[in-house]
Structures are given as structure tokens and as C-alpha cells.
Structure 1
Amino acid sequence: MTDLPKLTVWYNTKCPVCNAGINRQRNRLLRAAQSGAIEFRDINFEPDALARFGADIEDVRRRLHAVDAGDKLHVGADCAVAIWRRTPGEGWLGRLLGLPGLIQVSRFTYDRFADLLYVWNRRKGHW
């Protein structure tokens, strides 16, 4: 396991794609989750949880959000990178996609996918 600070990840359980992705990560991160190194929270139960950062429920429905132990907010691809860095066997992916130059590509790709997924969820009524 990693020595990175605790990470609290906020996501939308009503999105089938988001929920499946987080469940996959949660299973891979079982040891980390049990030790308290990472926690997954459903934004639908605490819609104002990230208000101090200016983020609301719609922001989290559009992109993953996480807060680390240092109270730093990670959004979108930066959140995914933070999760991968804490996932056994996937730390290399987080380090790679978080490299200068590649993080911009990661953010662009994540944001385009997240935008499409958000529109799809709205059309399907996954709220």
C-alpha cells in the first residue's frame, strides 16, 4: 500500500458507469479502504459536502471529486490519478498519467468523456 494521505472520493452512485467504476476500484482498494486510506462517498446523500470548495452536486455528477487529508481538492482526471496512485497494481498508471505534459492530455480526455457521460445520464434520468 502507499504512504499517500487519506483520500475521500465523492461520486454519483446513480450513474451506472460511475458506480461500476468506483465499485471496481473499491474492490481493488479493499485493504486501503479498510485501513481508512481511502473512502468513497455518495454525493446524493450529502449534496453540500463540497460547498466550501464551491462545488455542488451537479459538479460531482459531471466529474469525480476528492479531498485529501491536506484538504486539497482533486477534480476529474486529477481525482482519477489520485485514486490510481493509491490502488495496488495501478500506481504506475497514476504516476504516468500525472506526469507533466500527460496530465493535460489526461484532463482533456477525461473532461470530454465526462461531458458525454453527463449528457447521457441526464437523458436517461439517472438522477
Structure 2
Amino acid sequence: MNDAAKPEVLTVLYDGGCPLCRREIAHVQGLAAQRTDSALCFVDVSAAQSTVPAAERAALLARFHVQRPDGSRLDGAAAFVAMWARLPGWRWLARLARWPGVLPALEWAYRGFLRVRPRLQALARRAERTA
């Protein structure tokens, strides 16, 4: 594949302080490593050395985000769909999300997850300590 045909990099902005997020991103990184055309870059916005401006950090930690090559960002279900479109074995789900009503349903489910995320994080942290 020549350089002109390579996809532009999609930057995944994730909360490395969240045990759920760390597990998911580790899984995604493993999938992305299987393909040279995944073009994903991962940035832990919770890290002290993060280059993300402090004013943006709280919003980025509250919801999942990706940043497109042009600098624009997607969040929530739309961000997951953009990431899935670059992962082997997940592209079908990104295509499914284009069907009418699917993306809003995914966003509804993601917002539901966000309501219980703090409790799930606490359980995951407890499990990490006892493991």
C-alpha cells in the first residue's frame, strides 16, 4: 500500500484512570495492532503528561471522544462507530450504525452506561485490588 492510500490517523482520547476504559482500550489496541491500516493513535487524557488543555480535560474524561485528522471531534456513540470502522472484526458494526435509528439507539445505550459507570468503575477497582 502506498502512502497516499493509507487512511489518516484517528486519535482515540480515553480515560486511562478508568479501569473499564483501560481494559477496553487494551483490547482495541490489540485489534488495531493486527492491521497496519487501522490508523489509530491512543491518548490517555488522564495522564499527567497529556498535551490536552486542562480546560478540555473534564469534558474529555466524562465521555468517550475521538479526534479526526482535521481536528474535529466526535463523542459518545458516534466516536465508538468511527473507531469500530477501523478495527478488524468490528467494521460490520460501524456499517450497521449507518442504518436509520441505530446510532441514536447506540447513543441512548451509551448514556445509560454513563449513568452506571461510576458504580462499575468502583467494582472494577475493587476487583483489581483483590486480583
Q: Which residue of 2 aligns with 1:21?
A: 24
TM-score relative to the length of structure 2 = 0.75
Match of 1:39, SS? strand
Q: In the alignment, residue 39 of structure 1 is paired with which amino acid?
A: C
The TM-score, its normalising length taken from structure 1, stands at 0.77
1:61–1:121 CA distance, 2 compared to 1 (3 A): farther
What is residue 38 of structure 1 aligned with on the other side?
40
Letter of the 1:17 partner, please give it.
L
Query: Aligned Cα RMSD in Å?
Result: 2.7
Partner residue in 2 for 1:8: 11
Shift in CA distance, 12/75, structure 1 to aligned 2, threshold 3 Å: same
Whether the 8 Å contact between 1:67 and 1:74 is mirrored in structure 2 is: yes
* Whole-Å separation in 2 of the counterparts to 1:15 and 1:77: 18
Q: How many residues align?
A: 118
Using the alignment, how far apart are the partners of 1:87 and 1:49 within structure 2? 28
1:108 counterpart residue number: 108
In structure 2, the residue matched to 1:48 is 52
Larger radius of gyration: 2
- Which consecutive unaligned segments of at least 5 residues does structure 2 have? 126-131
Q: Residue deviations 1:52-74, cap 9 Å, x none? A: xxxx2222222111111122211
